[in-house]
């Protein structure tokens, strides 16, 4: 397999430029991306393979910027899904073959090649660039159940919440007692609180 599109130094520079600097998360995310793409058979994620890849990121930190910069996947294109579990982990899915792998950064305390002193002093990102993949990551073959409404493309359906009147796309609605509700109205789990303008 030709891997010119997945050259570590080139990908790292692109991730660094996108993120605005180099840190451990950018190095780890770049390496994780390259490993995941190769494992599912994607060689040209920003070119001929761009419609064949979806990435699930499990944190909203630096690693995710590296995933985006290296894979070319974006939430707005529906090719990157972000579940903020606070984990240094990501799943890579080849939409053409269905092959999927989940990659997790190993606990540094269990990694005998790293010591805390190295990790606390800059440039700690360089330490992560030199460690072999097998010492740095756990990689597991997984299966991801992707429904048509989770895939890139135009919304399959748009409905209106009967409580707040807002639009709901891609079958994210909840049906309750014959009414269509958005998830926040259905479970009251908004991340924001409405403010009374009169106060």
Residues 115 and 167 in one domain: no
Q: Within the chain, where are the H helices? A: 8-19, 24-39, 62-71, 116-120, 124-130, 133-136, 183-187
Which residue range forms the structural domain that includes residue 143? Answer: 4-147
Residue 18 forms part of a structural domain: yes
Q: What is the pLDDT, as a whole number, of residue 112?
A: 47
The tens-digit pLDDT sequence of the chain (199 residues) is 445 689 999 999 999 999 999 998 999 999 999 999 999 999 999 999 999 999 999 999 999 999 999 999 999 999 999 999 999 999 999 999 999 999 999 985 544 445 544 545 455 557 788 888 999 999 999 999 999 999 998 999 999 999 999 999 999 999 999 999 999 999 877 888 878 877 6
Residues 114 and 176 in one domain: no
Residues 128 and 171 in one domain: no
User: Are the CB atoms for 89 and 29 separated by under 8 Å?
Assistant: no
Residue 17 forms part of a structural domain: yes
Residues 110 and 177 in one domain: no
Residues 107 and 181 in one domain: no
Cα 192 off chain centre by: 24
Residues 142 and 163 in one domain: no
* CA dihedral for 168, 174, 175, 180, sign (positive or negative): negative
What pTM was estimated for this model as a whole? 0.84
Rounded to whole angstroms, the Cα distance separating 92 from 132 reads 20
Domain count, the chain: 2
Residue 92 forms part of a structural domain: yes
Residues 23 and 75 in one domain: yes
């Amino acid at each position: 397999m030709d891997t010119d599109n997945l050259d570590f130094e080139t990908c790292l520079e692109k991730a660094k430029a996108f993120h605005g600097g180099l840190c451990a998360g950018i190095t780890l995310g770049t390496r994780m991306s390259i490993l995941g793409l190769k494992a599912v058979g994607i060689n040209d994620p920003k070119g001929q393979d761009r419609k064949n890849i979806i990435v699930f990121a499990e944190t909203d930190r630096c690693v995710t910027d590296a995933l985006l910069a290296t894979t070319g996947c974006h939430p707005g294109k529906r090719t990157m899904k972000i579940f903020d579990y606070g984990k240094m982990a990501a799943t890579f899915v080849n939409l053409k073959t269905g092959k999927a792998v989940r990659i997790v950064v190993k606990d540094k305390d269990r990694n005998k090649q790293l010591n805390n002193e190295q990790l606390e002093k800059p440039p700690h990102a360089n330490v992560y660039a030199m460690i072999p993949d097998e010492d740095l990551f756990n990689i597991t073959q997984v299966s991801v159940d992707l429904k048509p409404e989770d895939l890139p493309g135009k919304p399959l359906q748009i409905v209106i919440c009967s409580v707040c009147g807002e639009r709901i796309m891609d079958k994210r609605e909840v049906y309750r007692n014959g009414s269509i509700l958005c998830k926040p109205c259905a479970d009251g789990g908004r991340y924001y609180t409405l403010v009374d303008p009169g106060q």
